[in-house]
Amino acid sequence: MARFEDKHPELIARLTQAAHVAVFTGAGVSAESGIPTFRDEEGLWQKYEPQELATMEAFLNQPEVVQAWYKHRRAIIHEKKPNPAHHALAQLEPFFQEFAVITQNVDNLHQEAGSKNVIELHGSILRNYCVDCKQEAAEQTLNQMAEGQPVQCPKCKGLIRPDVVWFGESLPQGAFEKASQIVCQADVLLSIGTSAVVFPAAQLPITAKEHGAYLAEINIERSDLSPFVDETILGKAGEILPDLTAAVSKRISATNN
Ligand code: BV8
Ligand code: ZN
């Protein structure tokens, strides 16, 4: 079985020389944890139209349905664990002067796996707040929701929503600016497990490349980003990333001795 570094010499050479590495992740990095992706055949969106549920308008029209959908997704996430892809990325971090995980995911699994520098472009499903008084709402308040009844803020009776970015909503100010700065300085950007269809997030890997980064994609199939990348590695993130991290660790330890 050819070694990772023999199959991807350019990527390993670039990573070995890199000071700044950025990783851009999507739902595919959590797929092997058992969390459905958005656009694969069994993806979450297949059952619902994105516009139907992940928008403020849908929420105001049918808050109890949107709250129930997020409660269902939180329950799935609480049962799942980080997979080898998340762990391999957390193990990569110490090898570089700067290593940032810029994620579109809202499942907190990168942080659970030990990644320190994580930017959540689309927020987190584990945080909820009242749309009127902005008070953070405890998850159990939401879990007590009665069938068909929207959950209201205990303080002001406002509706409670997840702290995620819905379609038509702008990304958290600081997060997108910080992610943009990071990708402009990246020597290497790894795009992992994303269809790269959602903007402005999907612009980030392209911005990295425009600023001189070596752009590699790890995905089980080609994505909208594929035409722009220097290299596409087809396969499962949970199988490829441990090999990548092992190859980088071996090469960097060898150069340090
Ligand atoms: C904005 C959080 C404006 C919520 C999400 C036309 C009409 C309407 C809107 C638009 C339009 N054109 C552009 C837009 C804007 C819109 C957009 O991009 N729409 C797309 C669909 C065309 N964007 C927005 O609305 C954004 N806001 O533009 O605001 C604005 C600007 C200024 C001021 C005010 C307003 C906000 C977008 C954020 C939406 N929120 N999520 C929630 O989670 O419920 S998006 C959602 O999709 C997730 O965050 C997810 O990250 C994102 C992208 O999906 P992926 O992560 O890539 O997942 P996907 O399933 O698609 O792909 C998985 C990939 O992994 C696949 O390729 C698969 O092959 C691969 N894979 C599977 N298994 C594995 C694997 N790879 C490796 N290993 C495996 N094991
Ligand atoms: Zn309130």
pLDDT tens digits, one per residue of 147-177: 888 999 999 999 999 999 999 999 998 999 9
What residues are in contact with ligand 1 under a 6 Å CB criterion? 26-28, 31-32, 37-40, 43, 54, 104-106, 122, 164-170, 193-195, 197-199, 219-221, 223, 236-238
Ligand 1, closest atom to CA 25?
A: 56
Secondary-structure percent of the chain, ordered helix, strand, coil, rounded to 5? 45, 20, 35
- By most ligand atoms within 8 Å of CB, the mutation choice from 105, 110, 119, 167 for ligand 1 is 167
State mean pLDDT over 214-241. 98
State mean pLDDT over 188-209. 98
How many Å lie between the centroid of ligand 2 and the Cα of residue 57? 19
CA-to-CA distance for 9 and 3, rounded, in angstroms? Answer: 10
pTM of the model: 0.95
Ligand 1, closest atom to CA 104?
A: 51
Of all ligands present, the nearest one to the C-alpha of 166 is 1
Q: Which residue has the higher pLDDT, 257 or 6?
A: 6
Tell me the catalytic residues.
Answer: 122
Of all ligands present, the nearest one to the C-alpha of 69 is 1
CA-to-CA distance for 143 and 95, rounded, in angstroms? Answer: 41
At 56, which amino acid appears?
A: M
